[in-house]
Amino acid sequence: MHLVQLNIAKAKYPLDSAELKEFVDNLIPVNQLAEDTEGFIWRLQDENGDATSIHAFSDPNIIVNMSTWASVDALKNFMFRTHHRDFLRRKSEWFDNIALDSYVLWWVPQGCTPSIEEGIARLNYLRDNTDSPYAFTFKSNFSSTEANEYKL
């Protein structure tokens, strides 16, 4: 099984604004860093190599990121032990706080490429319920075995 993460962020400014220039200018290097990180499997991207033009929500300022990883540890390593953490620390400069859950994790069989619709459905499920093997956060960190055994 592979771990999928979907996260969303609501930009405070248009992506082509001076306020978001540093964030946008670092999309390619940070995405490359993800791809070079051990345990990386796949990431959602458009023809430009990122996902900022993929509008999955009615609000055009909400951007989406989705990727697949070999394990929770591989994803955490990328997020918190690489240059990516520097951008996480600065998130409030570029993005509004979202009151509801803004990310979700779930397990998929190896070789499965999740759809953006599935990711949004999992995020909404998490928001409407709570952490479960179907849709969870790092707080619960359900195993792939628990996900296989879980029935909605």
Q: How is the chain split into domains, by residue range? A: 2-149
How much is the pTM?
0.92
Burial 23-45 (b: 16+ CB within 10 A, else e): beeebeebbeebeebebbbbbbb
Q: Note the pLDDT of residue 142.
A: 86
Q: Which fold has domain 2-149?
A: Alpha-Beta Plaits (3.30.70)
Q: Which of 92, 107, 104, 103 is nearest to 143 (CA)?
A: 107
Rg (CA), the chain: 15
User: Is the CB of residue 6 less than 8 Å from the CB of residue 123?
Assistant: yes
DSSP per-residue letters across 57-122: SSSTTEEEEEEEES-HHHHHHHHHHSTHHHHHHTHHHHEEPPSS--EEEEEE-TT----HHHHHHH
pLDDT tens-digit map of 83-138: 888 988 999 999 999 999 999 999 999 999 999 999 999 999 999 999 999 999 99
pLDDT tens-digit map of 49-88: 888 889 999 998 999 999 999 999 999 999 999 888 898 8
pLDDT band per the 50, 70, 90 thresholds, residue 145 = confident
What are the residues whose beta carbons fall under 8 Å from the beta carbon of 73, sequence distance 6 or more?
A: 39
Q: Which of 33, 32, 34, 13 is nearest to 23 (CA)?
A: 13
- In angstroms, the CA 128 to CA 19 distance is 33
Q: Which of 70, 63, 23 is nearest to 42 (CA)?
A: 70
Secondary-structure breakdown of the chain: helix, strand, coil percentages, each rounded to the nearest 5 = 40, 20, 40
Beta bridge partners of 69: 3, 40
